[in-house]
Chains A and B, each alone.
Chain A
Amino acid sequence: MPAKAAFYDVDGTLVKTNVVHVYAYYAMNRGSLLGTLGRTLSTAASVPLFAAMDAVNRKAFNEFFYRYYAGLSEDRLISIAEDMFEDVLKPALYEQTRDLIDQARRVGCRIVLVTGALDFSMRPLARYLGADDMIANKMQFVGGKATGKVIPPIIEGANKANAIRSYCVREGLALDQCHGYSDSASDYAMLSVVGRPTAVNPDMRLRSIARAYNWPILDLK
């Protein structure tokens, strides 16, 4: 049987959060107490704006949003990632996420997370779920400080599909035997490129696409 993998989008698919929550967590955990208060207020004000932007254009949103990381040290980001996993991501995991991943592993799938979030912020989650690999955005660091720029190509939309295709070629996996899981119509390309796509808690657009193409629809709880 050819080697195969299961590719999972993370936000909204495996966990109830989305990338905006992660941003909020980081934004609120930098600097002094007074600064934190100020930033909490400004973050609270900007989160709905970001959420709206995310819905309209994921790529533009990512580019804009990651600029907020500029100046933070790599060590700091990594240690916040650990806290964020415990405080934000772990409680937001769907109860059935683990079962779904375990089942894929049992049938010999390599587990790969594919996310538009930054790699360091998702690493604790990948470790917790026992993922074999992760395709995520990478922040550029100069002298140990984040520049606020993401090393291209930004993992989102069609680029997720490209990244998955390249990953399969590199690792010798049969793309048509691979599974893909996502909740959002913005990942249509990613789901189309694998042989076994599945919509998980899909948004309205993805639900109608899944129905049209007869993809299975899972409702994780």
Chain B
Amino acid sequence: MRPLKTLQKLYDEESQVVITEKGSPPRALFSGENFLLENLPVGTRVIFPRPPLAGVPNVKAAIRWAINHPEGMEPLHALLRPGMRLTCVIDDISVPLPPMATPDVRQSILEVVLELCADSGVDDIHLIIANALHRRMTEGEMRRMVGQKIYDAYYPERYYNHDAEDPDGMVELERTPCGSHVVAVNRRVAESDLVVYVNVNFVPMNGGHKSMGTGVANYASLRAHHNPKTIRESKSYMEPGHSELYRRNERIGKAIDKHLKVFHIETSLNNRMFGPGVDFLHKKEEDYTEGDRLKFHAMRYALSKMPRAAARKVLNSIPAPYDVTGVFAGATEPTHAKTLEKSWQQYVVPVQGQSDIVIFPIPFISPYSVNSILNPLLVQVMGLGYFFNLNRGVPLVKKGGVLILTHPAFDEFDPVQHPSYIEFFNRVLPETRDAVQIEQKYEREFAENPSYVHLYRKGNAYHGVHPLYMWYWGENGRQHVGKVIVAGAENNHVPALLGWDRTDTLTEAIEEARGFMGRSASISLLRIAPTVMVDVK
């Protein structure tokens, strides 16, 4: 990297958008379990995350204040009465990413809520993880999430994972006359006098009606919005006004609110993903100190020399020191509106206009690969599903433009967590990549495969239908872009099966993208992670 003094004049320290100039430093980009250090063409727009917002000074006090001053509902203590049946529904390990340093904010919320319940004579309490069709959390993960004390008191009889395939465990609240749309929730939840939803809001897509409508539902309910049609009609998942996904969840959520009393506790986090030692990753490269550069090079070298599994283990073992920036409680919609506001305050960076070519560095982790492997389908969902949708209705890349992802695109799957992904990738994708065809021909088969159902219920596997949902998740991105290039892919067949081009380096990928879009094509890099969203004007 170039000396600091020659760089200082080249950018505005306050701005989150930097235009690459001749003297700009190379960029540190995630590429799976490793990092690339890349010089970008002059004129490339680099969009950086905002600095982390300040956290609330006392998290427990903020939780108490929120549940005593809720939005659109009575305070929590006024809803409690002795002998009532209460269920706390808790967001699962898919958020935040990476998992937060202990104590997890969910533990802090539960400690306050359970204490209040005990004071009010409420002792019929269950804690249910809202894992929907995600994998069951392991005992260790469950203990870490709520702390030893709550774990010892509730696990396993009263602290457990939701089971969407338990034939006696679901209750249908509503069904359309034709039977195509079902609103079903966990039986214990449905039969509770009060439900307290314990949320961690990581991106604006989480929380609100999605919490209950998805978290404790079953396959029959989820089909109403986890389908190619809904995804194609969503301009972004992160902006409710542009999300058909959000609207469908809202319809389901309203039906749930009609039948059940749900007290939501939502929390927003800042984007402090990297703790001491690796906190330079929050900075613009222009701001790196000599120490930061040394640390970066040492880390990059060490990770590149490690076997991939070891690098993964190291990276997964570094928790994120997020701060809680807000706690909001009460009825679903007004509570979520406050959370959204806070979320945008942290993540949104305004940018002028779309770009022809957009670069997304793909990190080692996704919501569906915690303590596991980011397999090819998950690389796809990170690029075309999540990162593509980190906007407020207008994507960063122009219609027909090129997306460049940096990732090795290795052909590795975790047979414990992702058994049905393996079949999907090797059997379905060679036949078709058309999401509608896949839905019609394969969805029921994967969803109902007794082996996958067993692995979901008794093992720690994602539901059989989950890889199809991952494919649908990339659908609006796929429909929008003209080409996807994966830079640094270590093989040909993974990009080919996903319908992508591959190059060895990012420079070659940019060359190819320019060949496709024209020499004067504009280029943007979303320097993620930490999380950043764009508001394209």
Q: Name A's B-contacting residues (CB within 8 A).
A: 1, 6, 96, 99-100, 102-104, 106-107, 109, 177, 179, 181, 196, 198, 211, 214, 216-219, 221
Contact = CB atoms under 8 A, between A and B. Distances in A.
Contact of A6 (B445, B450, B459): B450
Nearest to B447: A107
Contacts of B385: none
A104 B452 CA distance: 11
B451 A99 contact: no
A96 B419 contact: no
Given A96-B458, A102-B167, A214 B423 contact: yes
B458 A103 contact: no
A216 to B, nearest CB: 4
Nearest to B166: A99
A196 B457 contact: no
Given A99-B457, A106-B167, A218 B422 contact: no
25 contacts: A6-B450, A96-B454, A96-B458, A99-B457, A99-B458, A100-B454, A103-B450, A103-B453, A104-B450, A106-B167, A107-B448, A107-B449, A107-B450, A179-B449, A179-B450, A198-B451, A211-B415, A214-B415, A214-B426, A216-B415, A216-B420, A217-B415, A218-B454, A218-B458, A221-B458
Interface of B: 165, 167, 413, 415, 419-420, 422-423, 426, 444-445, 448-455, 457-459
Given A6-B450, A104-B450, A211-B415, A216 B455 contact: yes
A6 B450 CA distance: 9
Nearest to B453: A103
Interface of B is mostly: helix
A80 B39 CA distance: 80
Given A106-B167, A214-B426, 18 more contacts: A6-B450, A96-B454, A99-B457, A99-B458, A102-B167, A103-B165, A103-B454, A106-B448, A109-B450, A179-B450, A179-B451, A196-B451, A211-B415, A214-B413, A214-B415, A214-B423, A216-B452, A218-B451
Nearest to A6: B450
Nearest to B425: A214
Contacts of A100: 450, 454
Nearest to B449: A196
A219 B459 contact: yes
B186 to A, nearest CB: 18
Contacts of A217: 415, 419
Contacts of B453: 103
Given A102-B167, A106-B167, A211-B415, A218 B449 contact: no
Contacts of A179: 449-451
A218 B459 CA distance: 8
A178 to B, nearest CB: 11
A1 B459 CA distance: 28
B31 to A, nearest CB: 26
A107 B443 CA distance: 13
Contacts of B423: 214
A152 B131 CA distance: 51
Nearest to A107: B448
Contacts of B422: 214
B454 A99 contact: yes
Contacts of A107: 448-450
A1 B443 CA distance: 13
A85 to B, nearest CB: 24
Top 9 closest A-B pairs, CB basis? A107-B448, A103-B450, A104-B450, A198-B451, A214-B422, A216-B451, A216-B419, A103-B453, A100-B454
Most buried by B among A1, A102, A104: A104
A100 B458 CA distance: 10
A181 B450 CA distance: 11
Contacts of A96: 454, 458
Q: Which of A1, A100, A103, A219 has the most CB of B within 10 A?
A: A103
B166 to A, nearest CB: 10
A15 to B, nearest CB: 17
Contacts of B444: 1
Contacts of B449: 107, 179, 196
Contacts of B451: 179, 181, 196, 198, 216, 218
Contacts of B415: 211, 214, 216-217
Nearest to A96: B458
Nearest to A101: B450
Contacts of A99: 454, 457-458
B375 to A, nearest CB: 12
Contact of A218 (B165, B420, B455): B455
A106 B452 CA distance: 14
A181 B454 CA distance: 13
Contacts of B167: 102, 106
A78 to B, nearest CB: 31
A177 B452 CA distance: 14
Nearest to A181: B451
Nearest to B452: A216
Contacts of B419: 216-217
A218 B453 CA distance: 11
